[in-house]
Chains A and B, each alone.
Chain A
Amino acid sequence: MILLLFIFVLAIFLGLELITKVPSQLHTPLMSGSNAISGITIVGALIAAGTGGTFGTVLGTLAVIFATINVVGGYLVTDRMLAMFKGKRKD
């Protein structure tokens, strides 16, 4: 458990170091892209939906639905935005 906390703290610091200077043009994609990453909770949702009792499965399935919306929607919308940025740089 201490190990998990250790990983948590290290990952926070890594994240803070990783993204120091972001051009403002990328603020929205960075936000929506990282927002999609927060859908990683889907892993917990899958386990809950696949192992629980009746009510647990209901909760888990709802969690899977919401997490999947977050993941699929988040990545697609980010890609759509970034494709726009890319397209205009050619001309």
Chain B
Amino acid sequence: MPDVEMKPADVKPVKETEEKKEESKPAPLSPLAEIKSNVVLIDRAVTTLEPRFTHRVLRTLTALRKRIDNSVLRNAVESLYPKDHSIKKTLLAWLPTGPSSSDQAMDVDSSARPSHHELVPEAEIYLRLLILYHLLASEDTQEKALELANQTAEKMQAINRRSMDAIAAKIWYAVDRAYELAGELSDARPMFLAAQRTASLRHDDEAQAALINCLLRSYINYNLYDQADKLVSKTTFPPSASNSQFSRYHYYLGRIRAVQLNYTEAHTNLQQAIRRAPPAKTAPGFYQEVHKYFVVVELLMGDIPDRSLFRHVVLEKALNAYFEIVKAVRTGSLAQFQSTLSKHAAQFEEDHTYTLIIRLRQNVIKTGIRRLSLSYSRISLRDICVKLHLDSEEDAEYIVGKAIRDGVIEGRIVHEKGWMECGTQKNAYGPEVSEVFGRRIAFCLDLHNQSVKAMRYPLNAHRKELAAAEGAREREKELAKEIQDGDLDDEDLGPDF
């Protein structure tokens, strides 16, 4: 299941930069041209030490990935490297030979060759990344992909350049994917752990974020929540990581916390995952998956999810089974809950939410008791037992007692008479309101401050302004001088008139 679910997660076409849009508006670039321009950008990024360009290239990765095929990749490699270059040979070895590629390549080759010099290793890794994604896309080349992934990871570690970090993070993700498709995810763990250590020592935030997520995914895939939790507590997720990585991290964290019954934290994490995730339409799989957990966790917290959630275009179908569970919990009917549970058990198991949903049983009972306490001021234990389909009056007494202790309802049990007296609801308005208000205000203010901090200014722009100011002052001086001189001039002019 996680294969399908997470796949769209990396499909995070973060909004393209303005420039990019302008570029693609008049005539959408052919994939080949785009790869070439990307290589140029990477080159510029390395030579000017400006990681911004690399990020721009990586942003187009998802869109580009869908458009490449064998011949595009061949042509790109052919044209970017001179004829007998060793890298060219190794790269081409990964691509199956296509019939049409050779003559096409020739044309492009001749036109492009004069312009290029020795390419930076980052460009090679980028091309490897593209090939890797391409190999991963179809089923028969997955074995090859795994091989290439291993080789690329080794190569990357051998080259060891900081300017490669951003691309390296993507490579790690692809490596993870290759292992997963090969069904050997647990074998990759030692390698990831070692790479994660190295990345954190080098303050390589991007790779660190990617690797932590890969590891969490691997642990959770094998249901090793204990170890996943230990990993989370022993590492710090780099705060500068990209939104998509953060979104994934929050999702995994939410799942871990939900299993540990820490629903409040699970809820915040899943909410963060939803907020940071790309729009629902671009990554529907991830969106649905997170919402499944979100709904269950919300139910476990004793809340009822918003109904509009289930009408969302992307979610409506996927969450159908969950909607029925919500209905059962809301009415507090154990019988309905049990029948819905058994009806959709297969789906819940596939979603890995089954064990969480089983825990809802107590919530159903609690909701039932709460409804009774609201509608009756006094009700006998026997009636509670009948209405909630409990097994015995004795059980009913314990269950009501527990509900009172847990603060689900206000009331008392009068044992001698065998009934429950329900107290009045507490007034909801108290000091905690100001606390909540304060928390929200603090969030808004923090958001404001963060966005002020996050604003980017062009480098050395203030110099220009300074120069302009300097010039203005100079002119002013001149003007003043002229005026002074002008006084004289007036006198000089006098005789002319």
Judge: A and B partners, yes or no. no
Residues on B facing A (Cβ under 8 Å): none
Residues on A facing B (Cβ under 8 Å): none
